[in-house]
């Protein structure tokens, strides 16, 4: 049996991506706006808990406060990357 060619693999990948996205959409459609909002908060809190665990592992510390300081440092770096060219400290008058 021949290995699938590039275009077949790309089509299969696209079909898989669409399937995953379709499930996300249908799940969100079954929720009320209030339930979706609750998910935003739950996901956000969970993400920070995971980041704390990652930061403590990264710096080799069991001290939670040290972990949060590392997370805060990561977030400052992330902000600089994400906000580059999107924000300025002086308003340009056109």
Partner 1 sequence: MKLEELAVLVIEAAEAENVEFMAVGAIAAGAYGVPRSTRDVDLLVSIQFPKKIDALMRRLSSHITFDPQVTFDTLTWGARHVGISRVSPPFKVEFFETFDDPFVVSEFSRRRKVFVPLLNRETWLPTPEDVVVQKLRWGRSKDLDDARDVLAVQGPETLDMAYIEHWCGLHDTLARLHEALAGIPPLD
Distance CA(59)–CA(90), nearest Å, equals: 37
How many residues touch partner 1 under the rule CB under 8 A: the total is 42
Within 13-72, the residues that bind partner 1 by CB under 8 A are 18-19, 21-22, 24-26, 28-29, 33-34, 36-41, 43-48, 51-52, 64-65, 68, 71-72
Return the SS3 of 74: helix
Distance CA(70)–CA(89), nearest Å, equals: 26
Sorted by sequence, the CB contacts under 8 Å of residue 12 that are 6+ apart come out as 4
Contact status: 89 vs partner 1 (CB under 8 A): yes
* Choice between 12 and 79, CB closer to partner 1: 79
CA distances from 91 to 62, 76, 86 (A): 44, 23, 12
Report, in Å, the least distance between residue 3 CB and partner 1.
27
Site for partner 1, rule CB under 8 A: 18-19, 21-22, 24-26, 28-29, 33-34, 36-41, 43-48, 51-52, 64-65, 68, 71-72, 75, 79, 82, 85-92, 94
């Amino acid at each position: 049996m021949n290995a699938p060619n590039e275009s077949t693999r790309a089509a299969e990948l696209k079909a898989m991506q669409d399937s995953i996205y379709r499930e996300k959409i249908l799940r969100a459609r079954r929720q009320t706006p209030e339930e979706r909002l609750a998910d935003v908060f739950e996901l956000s809190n969970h993400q920070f808990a995971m980041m704390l665990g990652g930061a403590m592992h990264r710096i080799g510390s069991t001290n939670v406060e040290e972990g949060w300081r590392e997370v805060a440092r990561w977030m400052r770096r992330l902000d600089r990357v994400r906000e580059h060219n999107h924000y300025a400290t002086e308003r340009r008058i056109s």
